Structure 1
């Protein structure tokens, strides 16, 4: 079955699904994963020979869910959430009488904290990445992955934002990256410091020397300059996981093994820790961090702010400093 974006919906629900996706994307949402789920539903309706909307019953929805086994409560709930949003939207717009989704979400019982890389652990990752051997299909592999992981950790970007970066998006005049058409179809400017500036400049100079000239539309990170194809995010994630065993990282109890998105979490926590250490009030700066990371509101950023022992210690020290005058007054 072709699951590509150009595959047309063909079931009895085809027009309604297309209308739903169009409406959501008009609000700036990408809905890539949601579309994949709805294509599975579309194919299932065809296989079950459903010919009328009223034949999409709660039993049929449960049967579809059962046909897509999910090993974790989280993945099952994501599948269910997409169905619920579709049918709620159809009911709201009076395209169906009532939603056939009656199933409850599964209880998530084993929520584990993301792994937060310290600066030393991030350096271990970069040192391991630069040692990756070059392949015929992946020239300068070590230098490329070292730069990718440095940008992910140092700027907290999403991996898709890194792979979509083009040469024209690296502005050395203003020392910033232009992140185009990211989540919610927004474009934002992300400044970088002198060390990352030097690393990026050296990396792009190396690429330019190897390929003579890089057009502005060329991806910053690519092993296929002739086709101008960026490195796939899944390939970056696979390489990250291949490096993990060699780092011998100590994973605390209740913390998930490191995955690529942990670098974004680490950036957020590291920024907050730096603010505490330098005496900056995090409450006044959280909106800045939210904007930097491409979130529409600080509540989205709060998801990334895992409480680490260092962060807790910094927060306690700040509280003691703020409370000291009050405590002295009480004691006197």
Structure 2
């Protein structure tokens, strides 16, 4: 994504984005936010960078009403970071951003699928009928949803998988330059290996030999294979959820595609607790496996379910009172 800027700060915006991307950051949403501010400066006919003062920043924020504090705070945060960089580069003496973030009310927790519910999703996915533009939908979507729940992959990582990224001999997926510009290796076990092998062989039987750059998941084959769109996968998942109509407890978001990844993380932590593994000692491993920027992002999962909090409480009680461990065992 490469934007053209036209305001008095246009060159600074471009330099800032180049600097961040040189550090491996994607900065696509930040670029969109800076484009909005750039357009605002042009419309207001701001011809001198010295005129970018707190009042102008607040006028821009007011011109972009946001219904959710999180959206407003993101826009404000982009400006705050940009001008902080300007100051660090000695392009400005001080930042003109004076606005404060909006308070965020308690956020809804993500919906977490139980194993039986995931099995229902996979069954419904395998029963999806083909159509003229999407053959073999059942096989394709069942495999995609299995990868999301079984390996905790992001949907964007799955749809961008190429045949060369699947190493069946070593039971590895190569996730190339995913979120935060990271590339990582994701190992998989025998059951997932069998499912992937069946899917790849199915592709050979139906369409011929795979080429290294072929997208693993595609509904378009002529004149070339193109990867599926994230929106297409998300919409299909949404239709399956409507058929299931699962109960959503108060304080929990409606289930959506990314909840499969959340469910993988929580299920992994629960399994560690119940088998005597200390999650705090393994949190870094899970963070790396899932491609998080840092373990703090993964630690959030420790606080979102009653089951995890209960397991953590029991672990602490056993630590604090050895007699309690004997009672529980």
Q: Post-superposition shift, 1:323?
A: 4.4
Note if 1:186 corresponds to 2:182. yes
Q: Describe the SS at the equivalent of 2:282.
A: helix
Quote the Cα distance in structure 2 between the aligned partners of 1:305 and 1:180: 28
Instruction: Give the 5 Å matches for 1:219-230.
Output: 219-226=215-222, 227-230=224-227
Quote the Cα distance in structure 1 between the aligned partners of 2:90 and 2:320: 57
Give the total of aligned pairs: 325
Quote the Cα distance in structure 1 between the aligned partners of 2:240 and 2:65: 30
| Distance change >3 Å, CA 312–CA 98, structure 1 → 2 | closer
Tell me if the contact between 1:165 and 1:221 (Cα under 8 Å) persists in the aligned partners. yes
Q: Describe the SS at the equivalent of 2:76.
A: helix
Instruction: Give the 5 Å matches for 1:87-126.
Output: 87-126=83-122
Note if 1:139 corresponds to 2:135. yes
> Aligned Cα RMSD in Å?
2.0
Quote the Cα distance in structure 2 between the aligned partners of 1:273 and 1:120: 16
Q: Describe the SS at the equivalent of 2:302.
A: coil
TM-score scaled to structure 1, two decimals? 0.91
For residue 300 of structure 1, the aligned residue among 297, 302, 305 is 297
Per-residue CA distance 1:129-183 (angstroms, 9 max, x = gap):
2222222222212221121111111111122211211111111101111111223
* Aligned position for 1:248: 245
Note if 1:282 corresponds to 2:276. no
* Aligned position for 2:151: 155
* Aligned position for 1:30: 26
Which range is displaced more, 225-234 or 269-278? 225-234
Which range is displaced more, 221-230 or 105-114? 221-230
Quote the Cα distance in structure 1 between the aligned partners of 2:324 and 2:148: 43
Q: Post-superposition shift, 1:70?
A: 1.5
Note if 1:39 corresponds to 2:35. yes
Which range is displaced more, 64-73 or 20-29? 64-73
Quote the Cα distance in structure 2 between the aligned partners of 1:122 and 1:129: 10
* Aligned position for 1:50: 46
In structure 2, the gaps of 5 or more residues are none
